Structure 1
Amino acid sequence: MRAVTVRPLAAQSLEIREVPEPVPAHDDLVVEGLAVGVCGTDKEIVAGEYGWAPPGQERLVIGHESLGRVRQAPPNSGFDTGDLVVGVVRRPDPVPCGACARGEFDMCRNGRYTERGIKERDGYASQLWTVESDYAVKLDPALERVGMLLEPASVVAKAWEQVERVGGRAWFEPRQVLVTGAGPIGLLAALLGVQRGLDVHVLDRVTSAGSRLW
């Protein structure tokens, strides 16, 4: 099968290569890749500034903003053939640290986490991929055209969660929100602010003659 790969820390090493089809573990879904998103992290990896290959491998399959359709699901997994799914990116460290032990591995304290398509685990930019059923998220079929945005939206959702935790320590009744930056993350943050019933303002800077904010 084909996959989009790089040699981490080597600029201009991006290639579509033939790689072996994944062999699923007993609790893995086998998923047909439909789309992947491309973000600033991917650009840094392709530029040779970032990224780690899986142990024993020279190249890394990139792609962490995933979208796929289940081709095979283990019994009693909660998933069925044909389901639309997104794969979770990060996995907790093996020690684990206190945050990872409590399921907060986005807050890993010792840096030994791994990430699909970024750090020591192949990503989702391939014709087929596998994912543990505990690390797959089922999507409504109506989201097929935009499902690859679930991962960046989860970053914003996490930020909102932290804002609300901090605000909840005392009196908290927000009415307005300022979002700085109108890139994909900024616009998703604005959408989640509107969803919360807030008066949302978005600030962005025009840095070149060709820049536009629509």
Structure 2
Amino acid sequence: MRAVTVTPGVPDSLRLVEDWPEPAPEEGAILVEALAVGVCGTDHEIVAGEYGEAPPGQERLVLGHESLGRVLEDPTGTLQPGDLVAGVVRHPDPVPCANCAVDEWDMCRNGLYTEHGIKGLPGFARERWRLQPKFAVGLDPALASVGMLLEPASVVAKAWDHIERIGRRAEWTPKSVLITGAGPIGLLAALLGSQRELSVHVLDRNTTGPKPDLVRALGATYHTSSV
């Protein structure tokens, strides 16, 4: 089985390994065939040796935290063979902290969490991987070309959730939103803003390229000068 790996902390140690072992059953009951992985700034920083942590007892870390796969087998019945699935990246710490104890491990307080492809868990940039049912997110078949964007979309959804929780502390009826940057995260933020029927304004430095049209396609206004 092939896998894309690095030696954490060693700059430019990125390697395609041809004989990576099959995923261990301990990783989860759901066996998945990889279809695609996303690549973001986090991956670039791990390849540069800035951070990253291999699983215990291993020297290399399989990259890939933005996942899309197709279920090969699931004896638990959570998903069916052929279903599209994405993996939850972060797993709770074993202690657990107060947040991990109530399944809010994205807000882990003691830093003992693990993350696929980043910290202590093998990533999804391998031909096959396994998931525990709790960390498997089934996707609509219509998302076959973009399902790997679920992870970055979840980051933006969490930000919107916090914004709205804070806003509800008082009478709050927002009409517009300004998003700085039209990279993938900015575009996803604009998408969720448009879904909330806000007047969305996106500020970016680029005057050419695909960004202006992508922003307009989301129903937002694109700016390159002062807003």
Distance in 2 (alpha carbons) for counterparts of 1:46 and 1:136: 26
Change beyond 3 A, Cα 1:27–1:62:
closer
**Secondary structure at 2:178's aligned position in 1?**
strand
Distance in 2 (alpha carbons) for counterparts of 1:34 and 1:175: 39
Distance in 2 (alpha carbons) for counterparts of 1:210 and 1:138: 37
Alignment of 1:55-134 (within 5 A): 55-76=56-77, 78-134=78-134
Distance in 2 (alpha carbons) for counterparts of 1:136 and 1:37: 17
Change beyond 3 A, Cα 1:42–1:158:
same
Counterpart position of 2:40: 39
Letter in 2 for 1:53: A
Letter in 2 for 1:16: L
**Secondary structure at 1:185's aligned position in 2?**
helix
Letter in 2 for 1:88: V
TM-fit CA distance, 1:75: 3.2
Counterpart position of 2:51: 50
Distance in 2 (alpha carbons) for counterparts of 1:65 and 1:26: 17
Report how many residues are paired: 211
Alignment of 1:173-212 (within 5 A): 173-206=173-206
RMSD: 1.5
Unaligned stretches of 5+ residues in structure 2: 213-227
TM-fit CA distance, 1:212: 6.7
The answer (yes or no) to whether the contact 2:69–2:86 under 8 Å persists in 1 is yes
TM-fit CA distance, 1:213: 3.3
Change beyond 3 A, Cα 1:26–1:8:
closer
Change beyond 3 A, Cα 1:106–1:75:
closer
Letter in 1 for 2:34: G
Instruction: Normalising by structure 1, report the TM-score.
Output: 0.95
The answer (yes or no) to whether the contact 1:30–1:72 under 8 Å persists in 2 is yes
Change beyond 3 A, Cα 1:102–1:118:
same
Distance in 2 (alpha carbons) for counterparts of 1:39 and 1:113: 20
Instruction: Normalising by structure 2, report the TM-score.
Output: 0.89
Counterpart position of 1:213: 211
Counterpart position of 2:168: 168
The answer (yes or no) to whether the contact 1:153–1:188 under 8 Å persists in 2 is yes
Distance in 2 (alpha carbons) for counterparts of 1:192 and 1:124: 26
TM-fit CA distance, 1:205: 2.2
The answer (yes or no) to whether the contact 1:26–1:74 under 8 Å persists in 2 is no
Counterpart position of 1:23: 24
The answer (yes or no) to whether the contact 1:27–1:74 under 8 Å persists in 2 is no
**Secondary structure at 2:80's aligned position in 1?**
coil
Q: Note the alpha carbon deviations across 1:15-58, whole angstroms, 9 max, x for none.
A: 01021111324952000000000000000000111100011000
Percent sequence identity is 64
Letter in 2 for 1:197: E
The answer (yes or no) to whether the contact 2:28–2:130 under 8 Å persists in 1 is no
**Secondary structure at 1:30's aligned position in 2?**
strand
Distance in 2 (alpha carbons) for counterparts of 1:132 and 1:74: 11
Distance in 2 (alpha carbons) for counterparts of 1:166 and 1:53: 37
Letter in 2 for 1:101: A
Unaligned stretches of 5+ residues in structure 1: none
